[in-house]
Chains A and B, each alone.
Chain A
Amino acid sequence: MIRRLLEALFASALYGFSIGAVHSLQLASWNLFKFPLLIILTGGICGVAYYVFALFITDRLTFRDVVQHALTIYRDISILLASLSPVSLFLAKTIVQPHDKDLNEYPFFLGLNVFFIAACGTVALIRRASDLLNNCNVERRQSVLIILSWLAISLFAGGQCAWYLRPYFGVSTIKDIPFIEGSRPDYRGARSFYEAVYHLMDPPPLPDDYRNYLQGH
């Protein structure tokens, strides 16, 4: 179990470094700590809920099984993402960098990495669901339900963890970037992950000093 944890931490640090490189070497180095921290924090605060949901759905999993499966999912996603880190690093260094008036290829880089994370997450979850089905004798419907419930918990709580520990990327024109933004409002005024998601669906107008924000003021 410790080996899986170490693999997850190492692989996630690698991927974190590659995406942070789009801003600067400093942010890339910080991501070496922030990505493993994100995994530990999300796993830590969701662990009890994973167990409660798994027991509610099936009686075939013990606490140890739940920890092992959850850890393996994190490990699998991290390793899959780490395999894409050379691609991310290459793109981070070769995209047309944003400047004061245009974000250029930065949104493409951002979107591509969101796609990478979603794709790796999906592959890892499908694989884990089939393992539950085969190795733990959990019925197909139950294993799908367990994985979906874990995914929902991780999105609900892990989203806020990720939001709190942001930034991982960053427009290179912003110079004084903090190690973590914490609960500081984003440029649209969102103070949490949930508000940020809400703003995606119903975006408020950009503040007047948005250009200053882009320049790090």
Chain B
Amino acid sequence: MNDSDNSEQFSSDLDDASKRVAEESDQRKNEDSEIAPFSRQELQKAYVRPYLAIEYILGGRDRLAANLLRGHKLGMVAALLLLTSLFSPIPFGAVPPTNSCLKISILFTGSLFICLPCLHVFSQFLGISLSMTQNLSLALIVSSVAGLFSFGFFPIIWFIDYSTQAVSESIFPTAGISVFLLAFALLMGVIQMLRCVHQRDDKTQKMEHLPFILPVWILLLVFITYRMATVLKLF
């Protein structure tokens, strides 16, 4: 009798131990798969070394999304995105055919600030618990990525303008090619924002309606950017 009791006790202990090991292993797996947001030190470095900002915004979207959606160091992230949005399109604007350092920054960032209140109010109204800074940061991903792509395109548009001598009666005037590249840059910005939103994890389940609002807001942003381009005489 004693032997059988002992063996039952032993097998129950064994089951408990194996359950505990499995739970610990699951927990460890979750911890490993959880993406770490950018730390204060990393963000501070990005202010001093702009190439790090490029890497964080374009290549580190998982971690950037973790910052935005969990609200970690949001102020620093928003400031970094804003600075990138303002400064990275300057080279594209400075070269022909735009010939104005600020126009492209105004085009992307200005249009975004016009549309931002709409995003924030509608998301609050529909119960998406994102703070103003979170919405701002999320929206700034579009303008910062668009700005970075325009930075990548500036040697190309400069060379095209130089080598075609900007003939106005051309079938493909440089201004048209420039608008095409800017539209492409905006598209990449939108794609990057949507990729960030799709990174959401268990901690951000409150935002499940966000992917439904964003397409409508993006349409508004595209329309306002088009109008802004007309006002800035980019066509």
Q: Spell out A's residues near B (CB within 8 Å).
A: 41, 44-49, 51-53, 55-56, 58-59, 63, 153, 156-157, 160-161, 163-164, 182-183, 191-192, 194-195, 198
> By the criterion CB–CB under 8 Å, are A156 and B152 in contact?
no
Q: Is B33 in contact with chain A by the CB < 8 A criterion?
A: no
> By the criterion CB–CB under 8 Å, are A182 and B163 in contact?
yes
Chain B 108-156 residues near chain A, CB threshold 8 A: 145, 148-149, 151-156
Q: Is B170 in contact with chain A by the CB < 8 A criterion?
A: yes
**A47 — which chain B residues lie within 8 A by C-beta?**
155
**B159 — which chain A residues lie within 8 A by C-beta?**
41, 45, 157, 160-161
Interface size on B, residues (CB 8 A): 29
> By the criterion CB–CB under 8 Å, are B163 and A164 in contact?
yes
6 more CB-based (< 8 A) A-B contacts, given A56-B58, A56-B192: A41-B159, A47-B155, A48-B155, A52-B149, A55-B55, A163-B163
Q: Is B215 in contact with chain A by the CB < 8 A criterion?
A: no
Name A46's closest neighbour in chain B (CB-CB). Answer: B156
Given A49-B152, A53-B152: A58 in contact with B164 (beta carbons within 8 A): no
**B170 — which chain A residues lie within 8 A by C-beta?**
191-192, 195
Chain B 10-34 residues near chain A, CB threshold 8 A: none
> By the criterion CB–CB under 8 Å, are B155 and A45 in contact?
yes
* Majority-rule SS of A interface residues: helix
**A161 — which chain B residues lie within 8 A by C-beta?**
159, 163
Q: Is B54 in contact with chain A by the CB < 8 A criterion?
A: yes
Chain B positions 199 through 231: 1 when the CB is less than 8 Å from some CB of chain A, otherwise 0: 000000000000000000000000000000000
Shortest C-beta distance, A6 to chain B (Å), equals: 23
> By the criterion CB–CB under 8 Å, are A52 and B148 in contact?
yes
Chain B positions 46 through 59: 1 when the CB is less than 8 Å from some CB of chain A, otherwise 0: 00000100110011
**B163 — which chain A residues lie within 8 A by C-beta?**
160-161, 163-164, 182-183, 192
> By the criterion CB–CB under 8 Å, are A191 and B152 in contact?
no
**B1 — which chain A residues lie within 8 A by C-beta?**
none
4 residue pairs, one from A and one from B, having the closest CB atoms: A52-B152, A59-B59, A55-B58, A49-B152
> By the criterion CB–CB under 8 Å, are B165 and A194 in contact?
no
Given A52-B58, A52-B151: A192 in contact with B192 (beta carbons within 8 A): no
Q: Is B74 in contact with chain A by the CB < 8 A criterion?
A: no
Chain B 153-171 residues near chain A, CB threshold 8 A: 153-156, 158-160, 163-165, 167, 170-171
**B154 — which chain A residues lie within 8 A by C-beta?**
48
Shortest C-beta distance, B155 to chain A (Å), equals: 4
**In the complex, what distance in Å separates the CA atom of A164 from the CA atom of B161?**
11
> By the criterion CB–CB under 8 Å, are A55 and B155 in contact?
no
Name A194's closest neighbour in chain B (CB-CB). Answer: B172
**In the complex, what distance in Å separates the CA atom of A48 from the CA atom of B59?**
15
Q: Is B188 in contact with chain A by the CB < 8 A criterion?
A: yes
